[in-house]
Amino acid sequence: MGAGKSTVGKLLADKLHYDFVDSDHEIEARTGVTIPMIFDIEGEAGFREREIAMIDELTQRNDVVLATGGGVVEREANRQHLRSRGFVVYLQSSVESLIQRTRHDRNRPLLQTDNPEQVLKDLMERREPWYLEMADLVIQTQQVPVHRVVKQIYDRLQQEQII
């Protein structure tokens, strides 16, 4: 949440001449409602079920850069689809940096609480082992210009002969 997945993803997709897809935006487009509304109506469990179906579909596409929600790793089906069907990049950032980037964003249901910093710390503690396990490449994004992050990913994709 707030690591720069959409920003980096769009720039990388442009550089690769691929399509850029944000799985959360796809879910919103298909349902006609926002992610916070889905959380309100169906709860997090309902949203995660929609997310599993979306990740399964999107990871079967070719020539796409896919940005996922931060919680995608919490479901084994998502981890399997992402690992087996693509090159996974973990944009790593400190909790402090994520707090700064998300503090005014009302479109993040899990952070609509009295203590968003603690929520981010708890989420990071729970999710980071999965992020690290899944990642083909880990890039520290804290205080790194976005174009440098994109170049690092592009260079690694070339090195791995993926592009």
Annotated binding site for ATP: 2-7, 108
Burial of 114 (0-12, 13-18, 19+ CB in 10 A): exposed
User: Collapsing DSSP states into helix, strand and coil, what is residue 87?
Assistant: coil
Side chain identity at residue 103, one-letter code: R
Query: What is the DSSP pairing of strand 137-140 with strand 89-92?
Result: parallel
Alpha-carbon distance 19 to 10, whole Å? Answer: 8
Binding site for Mg(2+): what residues are annotated?
6
Binding site for substrate: what residues are annotated?
24, 48, 70, 127
Binding site: what residues are annotated?
2-7, 24, 48, 70, 108, 127
Q: What angle, 0 to 180 degrees and rounded to 10, lies between the N-to-C axes of helices 76-85 and 116-134?
A: 50
